[in-house]
Structure 1
């Protein structure tokens, strides 16, 4: 008789989602609670947790966690251990993240450190802390990455570097955890309109304005056009946070999840580009982004 790979029931299973205060994390926490999981919404402020609890139509509990703070992660681990008892965790959804947007020549080092602290180091810190609970619950890890984890765009170099690093961590974790039967899944969303876009624009303009004016003028026109075009793409994108949440749900209930899921045509296209085209061809496709003002 062939082995069945049907879906796993979410009933009685607990999933922790980091970065659940807004955007993709909020959509994931609410969707997972609505579909039968006990969703642990990782937030940094109690008021965000209370807002999510009120909005949830299923079982949702907030957990205070700052992925960049070791003491915060340990306190969250203690709370989750108490909440789950001996059942452990079914899923850890690593979603917390920021996006630094600016020409690489203009990115302040403290901002680059922050990019990696949140999107890479913080994620691994959470994984290291919660792996014992995942082992106890025969659980899995779901890392939210990006289509930019396939192709590095101009002016998204810092963010892309962090996403590439997260992809590498995910591949290594997946291979190291095979003997322990803990699947590691990557979700690669394309452009999705979330509050992250406003933060990206503000930080990018501050970074650009921090360098000498002659350097600013080398990038200002094309950078501002890039930000405008990408915001338009996000606003007109058919991909929504709920679309991403549904794919996360699929990755959590699949008995044999894929190693990667793309969400949105642009994310799928980026993955195809990275696989099929040589670097120079991709450079030509993306070259128009950095065309200077005439």
Structure 2
């Protein structure tokens, strides 16, 4: 391999990952682009000659190990300059409706997958000092989070759980790796129209319609309004995947990468609101952004249908 620095980016089949892979390749990096299918591999490889697709499923340990083996063999003693943990999914629904298997999948991809990939690639990120010492950290990790990782929106509780956790993990990792000359940065994009958000409406509909009707009815009006507003905001956003790719480029090249990069006015606004507003005030601001709607009346239940009703009485 040449003296070009190598980076690995997960989740590059579309959206932020694809934009990041292309941007880093154009900046002179060799980019190992993690994808889950041969079709996606062919697509991303066509974008730039410096992009090398790697079949990588962040939820499968064998897939991660295979990717590490390939990168190690191809980079030799040069190791890996950077790792961008971008792969992610979004499970949108009222938390009362979220199937636990869907919640586990959310955490498995967005949180556990990030940790699993980082654990396996860290030895390669620590290799470079003896080979190519340079100003700044020897290795660099960038974890893609979200403004939702600072302020949890209603109906995105599962997604927020994964992103809040990723923020905490990134803080701990940054403090653990600083003495080893490996930097850790978090990128917090605001609303962007990418495939992850374009899938939200269909995923939301599927989950809510599968919930018991007496539960779904309590949320449907507000949830439908939230989904419509979320789609409108994403489509109207001036923040682009290229803007996110640029800050990732800074984290990969700066002598002193920032610990956090907020991209988009809504991401900055969420960070400021979380810092300055009391919880109740922040709740009121968020509540005012979404249509109130009216929950359906709960189905009538006779007293005899309620376990222990005769024993407990009807006091409220």
TM-score where L is the length of structure 2: 0.88
1:218/1:292 contact within 8 Å kept: no
2:140/2:251 contact within 8 Å kept: no
Partner residue of 1:118 out of 109, 112, 116:
109
- Structure 2: stretches of 5+ with no match in the other structure: 129-137, 296-316
Offset at 1:290?
6.2
| In structure 2, distance between residues paired with 1:198 and 1:217 | 24
Describe the SS at the equivalent of 1:177.
Answer: helix
| In structure 2, distance between residues paired with 1:232 and 1:251 | 30
| In structure 2, distance between residues paired with 1:143 and 1:15 | 13
Equivalent residues in 2 for 1:65-84, closer than 5 Å: 65-84=56-75
| In structure 1, distance between residues paired with 2:273 and 2:264 | 14
User: Where does residue 90 of structure 1 map in the other structure?
Assistant: 81
1:154/1:290 contact within 8 Å kept: no
Equivalent residues in 2 for 1:165-176, closer than 5 Å: 165-176=165-176
1:17/1:39 contact within 8 Å kept: yes
| In structure 1, distance between residues paired with 2:69 and 2:122 | 13
Partner residue of 1:24 out of 13, 16, 26:
16
Offset at 1:293?
3.4
Describe the SS at the equivalent of 1:248.
Answer: helix
User: Where does residue 243 of structure 1 map in the other structure?
Assistant: 243
Describe the SS at the equivalent of 1:68.
Answer: coil
1:251/1:258 contact within 8 Å kept: yes
Number of aligned residues:
283
Q: RMSD over aligned Cα, in angstroms? A: 1.1
Describe the SS at the equivalent of 1:142.
Answer: strand
**Deviation above 6 Å: which 4+ runs of structure 1?**
none
1:141/1:182 contact within 8 Å kept: yes
User: Where does residue 292 of structure 2 map in the other structure?
Assistant: 291
Offset at 1:68?
0.4
| In structure 1, distance between residues paired with 2:7 and 2:122 | 13
User: Where does residue 28 of structure 2 map in the other structure?
Assistant: 36
| In structure 1, distance between residues paired with 2:39 and 2:93 | 31
Larger radius of gyration: 2
Describe the SS at the equivalent of 1:93.
Answer: strand
TM-score where L is the length of structure 1: 0.94
Cα deviation code 1:223-256 (max 9, x no counterpart): 1111111111010100011111111101111110
